[in-house]
Amino acid sequence: MLNDNVSAAIRKPTVNLRIILLTSMLFAFGFLFLGSTVSYKQASLYLIAGVLGLALYHAHYGFTSSFRSFLVSGRGVGIRAQMILFLIANVLFLPLLSGAGGHEAAGFVSPVGLSVLMGSFIFGIGMQMGDGCASGTLYHIGGGDSRGILTLVGFIAGSVIGSAHFTWWMGTPNIGPVSFIEHLGPLPGFSVNLAILTLVFCAVYYIEKRRNGDVESLRPSWQFGWKSLLKGPWPLILGSIVLAVGNAVVLYISGKPWGVTSAFALWGAKLSQAAGIPVTEWAYWQTDANAAALNISILKDVTSVMDIGLILGALMALGLSGKPNRFLRHTSLRMITGLLAGGVLMGYGARIAFGCNIGAYFGGIASFSLHGWEWMIGAMIGSMIGIKLRPLCDLPVTK
């Protein structure tokens, strides 16, 4: 009997067929429904988001944890993986943004100024308190972690507040949008972004070596095969490749890069409208695109559909991995308060900084925009404060 118990304890987890069947049905039904009621372009983006969610879960691709690991212990493997992610995206984005083949696509290029710096700073505090960034919150929910729901509730509330203050922040000092490829030309612009990527990669490598005496390898100790590909976990490099390619496909199909948080503002605004709050009087919701979004189903909103697909992709990954979900784990009152507050800060910060870790940081740098690098600096500084606040939220600060 004892040997049987030991064998059961060390047995590798098996796939959860119920979760796999459920998510497969939701993807199939969602694809057909969106294709017939909206467009097959929208339906395709729904499926692509599922792949992105699966990749985030399997690779444990955490922007929040990578910032924290570097600041606390000097371990920079996560940030170095992000530089590779951005490089791959740059290579794929360049021909699309340059209009190759007559294809029209526009990157995320936003004004460089106080709004981005303060927004990313606030976001950095919030993502450490909320224990996850925007994409992290969604894949945590899909991965069976109920704490992500609390963060999302705060995120939606903060996004609405941020949209109310958006016009004021747009009047703060800035130098306007700065696109390396528009100001310098495609190849020189690419070279400048590559130089910054290389500088950050090497600086992080040097600091990690100096603080720890060694550097975590990016080379995967992972044997490729269909079983490991489906069940995970994945090395960070594979996650970087899938996320970069996925973002480029999103750019090609939708004409803009992958975003996450604009949907949170939209959901919150619709709920606010239903509660009698006159959000249509705010300038943010009077632009043509945002005003139109308020008056149509969220299923016609690309970002909303992709957010839903991302959650389901992470849920699919959970089922494939065979890991137990943590949906009902104990959450203290201090943690609940911290998660909600962190979500509010992230929602507010994302609105005034033109996006989150995906839309502003990933999408900005992938689009050769200087504001993406400004976002990284602000979020890193904010994370320093957020890490100090984590113990107050019953969250660990691990070295």
Q: Dig out the tokens for 215 from the structure.
A: 């550097």
Q: What is the pLDDT of residue 3?
A: 45
Q: Dig out the tokens for 196 from the structure.
A: 């910054």
| In the chain, alpha helices (H) | 2-10, 17-37, 40-58, 63-73, 77-97, 114-129, 134-142, 147-170, 180-184, 186-212, 226-231, 236-254, 262-274, 288-294, 302-321, 333-352, 363-366, 370-389
Inter-CA distances, 393 with 140, 340, 345, Å: 18, 10, 14
At residue 103 the predicted structure's pLDDT band, cuts being 50, 70 and 90, is: confident
- Domain boundaries in the chain? 16-214+223-393
At residue 8 the predicted structure's pLDDT band, cuts being 50, 70 and 90, is: very low
Q: Are strands 174-177 and 111-113 parallel, antiparallel or unpaired?
A: antiparallel
Instruction: Report the SS3 class of residue 198.
Output: helix
Q: What is the pLDDT of residues 236-293, one digit of tens each?
A: 999 999 999 999 999 999 999 999 999 999 999 999 999 999 999 999 999 999 999 9
Q: What is the pLDDT of residue 398?
A: 77
The rounded percent of the chain whose pLDDT value lies above 70 is: 95
Q: What is the pLDDT of residues 55-87, one digit of tens each?
A: 999 999 989 999 999 999 999 999 999 999 999
Tell me if 148 sits within 8 A of 140, measured CB to CB. yes
Whole-angstrom distance, CA of residue 335 vs CA of residue 142: 20
Q: What does the mean pLDDT of the chain come to?
A: 93
Beta-carbon count within 10 A of 333 CB: 8
Q: What is the pLDDT of residue 331?
A: 84
Q: Dig out the tokens for 320 from the structure.
A: 């494939």
pLDDT above 50 for 94: yes
Separation of CA 299 from chain center: 20
DSSP annotation of 295 reads: T
